[in-house]
């Protein structure tokens, strides 16, 4: 694409000299790695320093940027847009040669029982197995080896990467992405202790319900409810190797990073952010817009929305940070305490002598 | 079912008025969510307060409960049983419409070599692959895509959900449940460092042995032993995404929650409870009936049975709790210590002046 | 094998009495479990005490060991070698009956498109699916159910255990081992927040590149880069259930234990050792030969190579250990601080009175 084509397509404004002689844009790159023929972007002010040295042909910048003071090289061309990062992503997507991941149609080795309902324009890879009475929506794509249980429902325009397992009766909305090896609807971990110290399995008779526009990472596991449903609300994004226990509810547009685990019957609010390797206790509630920092362990409910938490056990981030800073001083404090003890004993002795 | 039918089936005693006109029981529900036509239960005294407001038609209660003082609504009907929760589970299981998960017989796409031994009344889903010389017991069910290695043995009445992998030679007992994506018998993580800083793979020639009545969660991994076996004793329950390293031994009826990891050659006793995201060091022993609380890290052996542990590094729970409470006071302690230092210096000065 | 055959094969020296009448070696075992007919080894001086009681027929020992002082039983036979453990592994491997894991040839149920390139002497199990234009090197073995994406490349002499998924375009070198359920090339976890609190998926258009001689554990997940590659350099060993995020780089011969997670764009140096359940923040760099102890959380770059780190948040191991020791004294410190406060108040009062 030429620079003018890109600018027009993005609704941006071109600024620079000698634009007609600039090379066509063939690649995108990070500002510090870009070369001639590359388009890059500047969103974070921290990276402004690279404007003087970048070899990029074009830089996407915010309309708010004062270009006069920032033009590093005379030959650098700018396109001003509302959101340089989002614009960059659009170009990235358009410029990257696409690999067709899914072959249209139902592969002859896929197993689809006659009582299943399969929508239009499906892509179903080799060795996919669809359960009895299952329903698959229009335009949904499934990689090789996916297994959909009996009476399960998958919405429209979903993408299931290879070897995903959806257990019986679970319900998945539209435009949901499930990455390879994800397991949806395995039994909740419920056992009633018996008098002899052994355990009786508690039947797990509920389902998992996943709403629209959810993305679930590779090898993540979401357990079905004992009764009712484990519910992942719309727009939730879950990373790889996350564990969601039975009867958990995740509110809309909450984001959960890799290896985090949420124990049974806990309710996470809307628009929360849980970083990696976080653990959340069972039967508690986390308020909307809560942020939990990496590796934190949350033992009890968080009632006030919009706060950040950190630590093991987790506390409000400001408190926790003060605590962890003080912790580093502990050996010095211990030493100082011993010194003070001696001084006070000495003082007591001296005072007695007077 | 009518109320009298349920009571008779459970061996319980009906108490209440106007039982003949009560609606038939069509659902089960939690006490706070139950409506007319629902059966619920009361096991935990904390929930007694709901007796006054529940809309349930029937509540299962303990024979020990003093109903006189507890009847909230005149129309509420009780069935007294020995264990209300266990009775509730029985009703739940009976009342829930069952979905047949496994189709009887061996699916024509399953691969079963002629030298494998397959028991009676098997259900083997599409694309299952059985290894050479493998043995599968009677009444065992396997979902689509399970792969059983050469010379592996699976007992009777087992359930393997889709895409489980059991490596060669591993031995699995009777009534074992393996959830989707579980991997049994992958190589232990053993590498001998060489003089040049690279690693030589140590052959992992042992197996995994899983005894009767074990349940293993989705995407959990259990490594084969270097020599001998990684041994999961009978009745053990393991949740999702748990890592069991090579040569680990888990004692009978121990329960391990999600995302916990146990390092190589460690022995866990009987009837232990390991909560979620716990880490246990290698080459140590954990005594019987030990409880390890969530996210704890256990660096060394625990010799006395029946104690609770907590923290990173883990300590006896009472000690650890005192420590974590004190930790929260650290910033205040630091402040107080500085104040004391000043006061003592002041005192020393004054004493000199006198 | 006879003892002389073993010694000759290992290039070792036999020391002992009555060697001709010793039983042939049929097994290998740990020194404390060995019986007659077993070969064992002594590498760690801690185990020298077992020389007096072991029932082994032969012990492999270092040429440096002073056998005179160590012969426990007159009938014990030694073979002196350069490295007893490595020699033991060689015997272990030779003496263990091998199970053929992979059947030569391409199973008739495997799907190989005509535009894929498949090398010589391949073993491809049932229901394997090879992508369009994929390339598979010579002598590579794949268990049942593996799925290789379009345009992906797998090198020579690789072993892929069952149900491995390699996404489109990813590149895997020679002699790489991928354990069951591993997922290579799933989308990085990247979402741009929109003004309305929802998220826009950032296209993940890069790949995963895995160099030669890497081993990846069961159900481990490695995400593809946003642009460019997530790069696992040669000789790296990764255990089960590990999460490697997008654009991470792992340096040569680094070892990563189970359930560790590395956040996006972080660079881990060469010859590092990351223990289990470690978490590493995003966009940081870890110097070569760094050791991170189990469950530690590393929030920022480590610049000096060759140091050990520990704790949450991680600190240099010696500092961290001092801190954690002091932490255990916290309740006592709190008590002592209160005592001192009282004493100082008392002193202040007394001094005023004088």
Average pLDDT over residues B22-48: 87
3-state SS, residue A330: helix
Is B218's CB within 8 Å of A263's CB? no
Q: Which residues of A touch C197 (CB under 8 A)?
A: 253, 271
Rounded-to-integer distance, Cα C167 and Cα A162, Å:
9
Assigned token pair, B62:
């303990």
Q: Counting one residue from A and one from C, how many pairs have CB atoms under 8 Å apart?
A: 184
Average pLDDT, chain B: 93
Catalytic residue among C246, C253, C271, C283: C246
Residue A71 has pLDDT above 90, yes or no: no
CB-CB neighbors (< 8 A) of C348 in chain B: 343, 347
Q: Which of B127, B246, B283, B335 is catalytic?
A: B246
CA-only gyration radius of chain C, Å: 28
CA distance C197 to chain B (A): 30
- Secondary structure of residue C45 in the 3-state scheme: helix
- Chain B residues with CB-CB distance to C127 below 8 A: 127, 129, 145
Residue among C143, B177, B147, B180 nearest A147 (CA): B180
Nearest to B271 among A187, A197, A245 (CB): A197
pLDDT of residue A256: 98
List CB contacts of C206: < 8 A, sequence separation 6 or more.
Answer: C188, C224, C225, C226, C227, C228, C229, C230, C246, C247
ipTM: 0.90
Q: Which two tokens stand for residue B65?
A: 């409960």
Q: How confident is the model at residue A348 (pLDDT cuts 50, 70, 90)?
A: confident
Asked if the model's pLDDT at residue C74 lies above 90, the reply is no
For range B108-131, the mean pLDDT: 98
Per-residue pLDDT averaged across A338-354, rounded? 86
* B92, B143, B241: residue with CB nearest A221: B241
On whether the CB atoms of residues B207 and B169 are closer than 8 A, the answer is yes
Q: Do the chains contact at B99 and A168, CB–CB below 8 Å?
A: yes
CB contact under 8 A, B223 and C241: no
Per the CB < 8 Å rule, is B312 touching C327?
A: no
> In this complex, do C255 and B165 lie within 8 Å of one another by their Cβ atoms?
no
Separate counts of helices (H) and strands (E) for chain A: 4, 37
- From the CA of B203, how many Å to the nearest CA of chain C? 7
The beta-carbon neighbor of B187 closest among C29, C109, C179 is: C179
pLDDT in tens, C205-234: 899 999 999 999 999 999 999 988 999 999
Count of CB atoms within 10 A of residue C273's CB?
18
Res. C12 pLDDT band, cuts 50 70 90: very high
The answer to which of A113-127, B55-69, B166-180, C58-72 has the lowest mean pLDDT is: C58-72
- CB of B151 within 8 Å of a chain C CB? The answer is yes
Output the pLDDT for position A24: 87
Whether the CB-CB separation of C183 and A181 falls below 8 Å is answered with yes
Cβ–Cβ gap B183/C89 under 8 Å: no
How many CB atoms within 10 Å of residue B102?
Answer: 18
The answer on pLDDT for A50 being more than 70 is: yes
* Percent of chain A with pLDDT strictly greater than 90: 70
Nearest Cα of chain C lies from the Cα of B97 at a distance, in angstroms, of 33
Band of the pLDDT at B129, cuts 50, 70, 90?
very high
How many other CB atoms are there within 10 angstroms of residue A157's CB atom?
18
Instruction: Please tell me which residue, A44 or A146, carries the higher pLDDT value.
Output: A146
- Which residues in chain C are closer than 8 Å to B165, comparing Cβ atoms? 143, 161-163, 180-181, 218
How many CB atoms are located within 10 Å of the residue A94 CB? Answer: 13
Helix (H, G, I), strand (E, B) or coil at B76: coil
What the block records as the tokens of C145 is 């159910």
Residues contacting B289, CB < 8 A, separation 6+: B269, B270, B271, B272, B305, B306
- Statement: residue B286 has pLDDT above 90: yes
Q: Is A329 on the interface with B (CB under 8 A)?
A: yes
Q: Which of C222, C218, C105 is nearest to C167 (CA)?
A: C222
Nearest CA in chain C to B241: C241
Residue C69 is predicted with a pLDDT of: 63
Q: Given this model, what pLDDT does residue A69 score?
A: 63
pLDDT of A186 above 60? yes
Which is more confidently placed, C117 or A54? C117
Between positions 59 and 78 of A, the ones with CB within 8 A of B are none
Q: For residue C233, give both structure tokens.
A: 């350099």
Residues of C whose CB is below 8 A from B132: 100, 103
Q: Which residue has the higher pLDDT, C156 or A36?
A: C156
Reply yes or no on whether the pLDDT at C72 is more than 70: no
| Chain B, chain C: beta-carbon pairs less than 8 Å apart | 183
Interface of C with A in 95-114 (CB under 8 A): 109, 111
Query: Residue C292's pLDDT is what?
Result: 98
Burial (CB count <10 Å: 0-12, 13-18, 19+), residue A307: middle
Average per-residue pLDDT in chain C? 93
Contacts 24+ apart (CB under 8 A), A230-234: A230/A188, A230/A206, A232/A208, A233/A270, A234/A173
Residue C26 pLDDT grade (very low, low, confident, very high; cuts 50, 70, 90): confident
Q: Output the CA–CA distances (angstroms, integers) from residue A227 to A190, A247, B96, in the order listed.
A: 12, 8, 10
Is C271 in the active site?
no
Categorize the per-residue pLDDT at B346 as very low, low, confident or very high, splitting at 50, 70 and 90.
confident
Nearest to A327 among C259, C327, C347 (CB): C327
Whether the pLDDT of residue C90 is over 80: the answer is: yes
Q: What is the mean pLDDT of residues C302-319?
A: 96
In whole angstroms, how far apart are CA A335 and each of A339, A341, B74? 6, 10, 69
- Go through chain C and tell me how many residues it has: 354
B10/B86 Cα distance (integer angstroms):
10
**Does C115 reach chain A within 8 Å, measured CB to CB?**
no
Please state, as a whole number, how many other Cβ atoms lie within 10 Å of the Cβ of residue A49: 12
Q: Which residue of B has its CA nearest to A241?
A: B241
Name every residue whose Cβ is closer than 8 Å to that of residue C280 and which is 6 or more positions away in sequence.
C260, C261, C262, C263, C266, C268, C274, C286, C292, C298
C-beta separation of A347 from B348 below 8 A: yes
Q: What is the mean pLDDT of residues B105-114?
A: 97
The residues near B330 (Cβ < 8 Å, ≥ 6 apart) are A323, A326, A327, A330, C330
Burial class (CB in 10 A: 0-12, 13-18, 19+), C128: buried
Q: How confident is the model at residue B43 (pLDDT cuts 50, 70, 90)?
A: confident
Contacts 24+ apart (CB under 8 A), C273-276: C276/B243, C276/B261, C276/B263, C276/B279, C276/C239
CA distance B69 to C235: 71
CA-derived radius of gyration, chain B: 28
Residues C238/C244, Cβ–Cβ less than 8 Å: yes
Q: How confident is the model over B234-258, as pLDDT tens digits?
A: 999 999 999 999 999 999 999 999 9
Distance between CA atoms of B220 and B178, rounded to whole angstroms?
Answer: 9
| pLDDT over 90, % of chain C | 70
Long-range contacts from B285-292, C-beta under 8 angstroms, 24+ separation: B288/B251, B291/B317
Split at pLDDT 50, 70, 90, the class of C100 is confident
CA A269 to chain centre: 15
């Amino acid at each position: 694409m030429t620079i003018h084509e890109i600018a027009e397509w993005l609704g941006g404004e071109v600024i620079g000299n000698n634009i007609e002689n600039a090379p066509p844009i063939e690649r995108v790159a990070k500002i510090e790695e870009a070369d001639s023929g590359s388009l890059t972007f500047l969103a974070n002010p921290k990276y402004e320093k690279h404007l003087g040295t970048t070899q990029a042909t074009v830089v996407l910048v915010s309309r708010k940027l004062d270009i006069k003071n920032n033009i590093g090289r005379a030959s650098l061309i700018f396109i001003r847009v509302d959101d340089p990062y989002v614009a960059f992503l659009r170009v990235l997507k358009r410029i990257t040669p696409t690999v067709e991941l899914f072959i249209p149609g139902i592969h002859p080795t896929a197993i689809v029982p006659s009582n299943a309902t399969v929508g239009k324009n499906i892509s179903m890879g080799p060795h996919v197995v669809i359960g009895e009475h299952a329903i698959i929506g229009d335009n949904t794509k499934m990689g090789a080896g996916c297994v959909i249980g009996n009476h399960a429902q998958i919405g429209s325009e979903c993408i299931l990467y290879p070897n995903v397992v959806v257990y019986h009766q679970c319900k998945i909305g539209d435009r949901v992405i499930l990455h390879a090896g994800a397991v949806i609807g395995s039994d909740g971990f419920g056992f009633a202790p018996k008098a002899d110290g052994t355990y009786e399995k508690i039947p797990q008779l509920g389902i998992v319900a996943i709403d629209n526009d959810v993305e679930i990472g590779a090898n993540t596991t979401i357990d079905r409810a004992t009764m009712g449903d484990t519910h992942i609300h719309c727009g939730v994004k879950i990373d790889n190797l996350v564990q969601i226990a039975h009867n958990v509810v995740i509110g809309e547009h909450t984001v959960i990073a890799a290896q985090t685990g949420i124990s049974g019957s806990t309710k996470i609010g809307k628009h929360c952010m849980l970083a990696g390797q976080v653990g959340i206790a069972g039967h508690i509630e986390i308020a909307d817009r809560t942020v939990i920092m990496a590796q934190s362990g949350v033992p009890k409910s968080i009632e006030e929305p919009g706060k950040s938490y950190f630590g093991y056990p987790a506390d409000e981030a400001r408190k926790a940070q003060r605590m962890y800073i003080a912790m580093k001083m502990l050996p010095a404090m211990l030493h100082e305490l011993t010194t003070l003890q001696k001084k006070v004993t000495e003082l007591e002795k001296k005072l007695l002598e007077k």
